Amino acid sequence: MDNLFYNWNIPLTINKKLRIIDDTLRDGLQAPNVTAPTLVEKLTLIDCMNKNGIYSIIISYPAASKDLYAETSAILRHIRDECYKIVPSLAGRTVLQDLQPIADLQQHFGQQLRAYTFIACSPIRQNVENWDMGFICGQTECAIKYLVTENIYPIIVIEDSTRSKPDDLTEVIRCAIDNGAKSVTLADTVGYINPEGVRQLIGFVRGIIGNCAELEWHGHNDRGLAIINALTAIMCGIDYIHTTAAGIGERTGNVSFEQLLVNLWLEGYRDIDLSFLNELAMLTAQYTHIPIPQNQPIIGDDIFTTGTGVHASAILKALKNGNIVLADSVYSSVPASLLGRKQNIEVGQMSGHANVEAKLRQLQLLCTDEIVDKILAAAKTSRHFLTDIEITRLVEANA
Closest listed residue to residue 258, CA positions, set 284, 290, 287? 284
Q: Please report, for the chain, the start and end positions of each structural domain, with discontinuous segments joined by +.
A: 19-288, 305-398
Adjacent-strand bridge partners of 188: 219
With H, G, I as helix, E, B as strand and everything else as coil, classify residue 342: coil
Say which amino acid occupies 99.
L
Neighbours of 41 (CB within 10 A): 16
pLDDT at 10: 85
Say which amino acid occupies 186.
L
pLDDT at 138: 97
In the DSSP assignment, the letter for residue 151 is T
Closest listed residue to residue 370, CA positions, set 347, 398, 393? 398
pLDDT at 309: 77
Neighbours of 73 (CB within 10 A): 17
CA angle 357, 360, 361 (to 5 degrees): 85
Neighbours of 53 (CB within 10 A): 16
Cα 141 from Cα 134, distance rounded (Å): 11
Cα 393 from Cα 19, distance rounded (Å): 52
With H, G, I as helix, E, B as strand and everything else as coil, classify residue 255: coil
pLDDT at 1: 56
pLDDT at 2: 61
Helical pair 195-209 and 226-235, crossing angle rounded to 10 deg: 40
DSSP for 70-132, please give it. HHHHHHHHHHHHTT--PEEEEEEESSHHHHHHHHHHHHHHTSPPEEEEEEE-SHHHHHHHT--
Cα 140 from Cα 172, distance rounded (Å): 7
Decide if 125 contacts 162 (C-beta within 8 A): no
pLDDT by residue for the chain (399 residues), tens only, comes to: 567 788 888 888 888 789 999 999 999 999 999 999 999 999 999 999 998 879 999 999 999 999 999 999 999 999 999 999 999 999 999 999 999 999 999 999 988 999 999 999 999 999 999 999 999 999 999 999 999 999 999 999 999 999 999 999 999 999 999 999 999 999 999 999 999 999 999 999 999 999 999 999 999 999 999 999 999 999 999 999 999 999 999 999 999 999 999 999 988 877 777 888 889 999 999 999 999 999 999 999 888 888 887 887 888 788 777 777 887 888 888 888 888 888 888 888 888 888 888 888 888 888 888 888 888 888 899 899 988 898 889 888 877
- CATH T-level assignment (fold) for domain 19-288: TIM Barrel (3.20.20)
Q: What is the pTM of this model?
A: 0.90
β strands within the chain, DSSP E: 19-22, 56-60, 87-93, 114-120, 153-159, 183-188, 214-219, 240-243, 305-306, 344-345
Q: What phi and psi values does residue 57 have, to the nearest 5 degrees?
A: -120, 125
Closest listed residue to residue 208, CA positions, set 153, 156, 255, 148? 156
Cα 131 from Cα 138, distance rounded (Å): 11
With H, G, I as helix, E, B as strand and everything else as coil, classify residue 220: strand
In the DSSP assignment, the letter for residue 178 is H
Decide if 182 contacts 147 (C-beta within 8 A): no
Decide if 51 contacts 16 (C-beta within 8 A): no
Adjacent-strand bridge partners of 217: 186, 241
**Per-residue model confidence as pLDDT tens digits over 239-275:** 999 999 999 999 999 999 999 999 999 888 777 778 8
With H, G, I as helix, E, B as strand and everything else as coil, classify residue 214: strand
